[in-house]
Amino acid sequence: MLENLQNNALFSQVVDLLQQSKQQVVRAVNQTMVYTYYEIGRMIVEEEQNGKDRAEYGKQLLKGLSKELNHEFGKGFSVDNLQNMRKLFSVYSIYETVSSISENEIPHVESVTSQITEIVSPIFKLTWSHYIFLIRIDDSNERSFYEIETAKNSWSVRELKRQYDTALYTRLSLSRDKEGILKLAQQGQIIEKPKDIIKDPYILEFLGLPELNQYSENELEEEIINKLEHFLLELGNGFTFVARQKRISFDDKHFRIDLVFYNRILKCFVLIDLKIGELKHQDLGQMQMYVNYYDREMRLEEENKTIGLVLCQNKSDLVVEYTLPENNEQIFASKYKMVLPSKEELIHLIEQI
């Protein structure tokens, strides 16, 4: 029996090692492929710059190169793909200007000013499919944010597209000042305080429910549980599911919290209540009671204060402002939408930043 257990343990260790090795090989292959395509893009750009009529020369260059490469290496070098390689270089090329010579280094020369512009290769961490999508994002700050978050959270291309389509960057930017928006572009989503995990609105299009009030709060909760993986992705970094319809009791009275999560980054419970229709001040008062209970009865000494989030279809910002304390950092209210934002809605969100 002991020998079997040891063999099982050995087998598990070997499997883990092989899986890790396989993942490293896949990452290395993907990285090498992107760097190779980046270099091909650089060669195309440099060759085009030597052409007299750049537009027409570029067309003929890509057609000829595509034909020869497909003949030599098989599929994968269509004109469209070569254009993506060229775009990758154009978007991700980093230029550094350095002083290469100082007047002290050259004798008999009174003054020398020499500047050399070098192209520094960027660091690629994602797959070629990810970068085909990213290079279509015109705003460099927004593109940088999605690249960082994709690498950090191991998003598939499908998940990346979904987060982009739901305007994640824009929604997170709404609650930040200029410095905070710059941090999003440079570091991705950094979670340091409760407000950092809150979005407004939340996009729940994956539930497949209608936009109108044709469902109950129980049906909304049931669909969220059925598609919990999608909901966790929408919630963001560090969330784990704890309970649904969590019952709390005192003075012979019983209450149920719709959804309870835990955020590993902030080290605190996150309570969520679902509301159909307009948010009322009583909804915020009820959430305050839930948060107080968790802080006093459930929270461990080393954990941070509980966060409460009321998700509603509509709300008055003034009702929220005057119901909650001025320095509130625990209770939040956000709207949710059942469909992806339209182009007009995205423009409106961007104008609010």
Domain parsing of the chain, residue ranges: 2-93, 137-190, 192-352
> What is the pLDDT, as a whole number, of residue 101?
37
278 three-state secondary structure: strand
Which of 93, 155, 163, 98 is CA-nearest to residue 126?
Answer: 155
Q: How far apart are the first and last CA of the chain?
A: 64
> What is the pLDDT, as a whole number, of residue 102?
40
Residue with tokens 């090692």: 17
280 three-state secondary structure: coil
* Calpha distance 66→64 (Å, rounded): 5
For the record, the structure tokens of 342 come out as: 């339209």
192-352, CATH topology level: Trna Endonuclease; Chain: A, domain 1 (3.40.1350)
* Calpha distance 305→267 (Å, rounded): 9
* Calpha distance 256→247 (Å, rounded): 4
* Calpha distance 292→281 (Å, rounded): 17
> What is the pLDDT, as a whole number, of residue 84?
93
pTM (global) more than 0.85: no
* Calpha distance 73→63 (Å, rounded): 15
> What is the pLDDT, as a whole number, of residue 114?
42
> What is the pLDDT, as a whole number, of residue 151?
93
> Per residue of the chain (353 residues), what is the pLDDT tens digit?
545 655 677 877 888 888 888 777 777 788 889 999 999 999 998 888 775 556 566 677 888 888 888 888 878 888 999 999 999 999 998 754 444 334 444 333 334 334 445 666 788 999 999 999 999 999 999 999 999 999 999 999 999 999 999 889 988 888 777 888 888 888 888 888 998 899 988 999 999 887 666 788 999 999 999 999 999 999 999 999 999 999 999 888 899 999 999 999 999 999 999 999 899 999 999 999 999 999 999 999 999 999 999 999 999 999 999 999 888 999 999 999 888 877 677 767 666 65
Question: Cβ(173)–Cβ(353) under 8 Å?
Answer: yes
Question: Cβ(167)–Cβ(341) under 8 Å?
Answer: yes
DSSP state of 306: P
User: What is the residue type of 154?
Assistant: S
Paired sense of beta strands 253-263 and 268-278, if any: antiparallel
> What is the pLDDT, as a whole number, of residue 30?
84
> What is the pLDDT, as a whole number, of residue 107?
37
DSSP state of 318: H
> What is the pLDDT, as a whole number, of residue 214?
72
| 233 contacts: CB under 8 Å, gap ≥ 6 | 159, 162, 163
Count other C-beta atoms under 10 Å from residue 315's C-beta: 22
> What is the pLDDT, as a whole number, of residue 234?
94
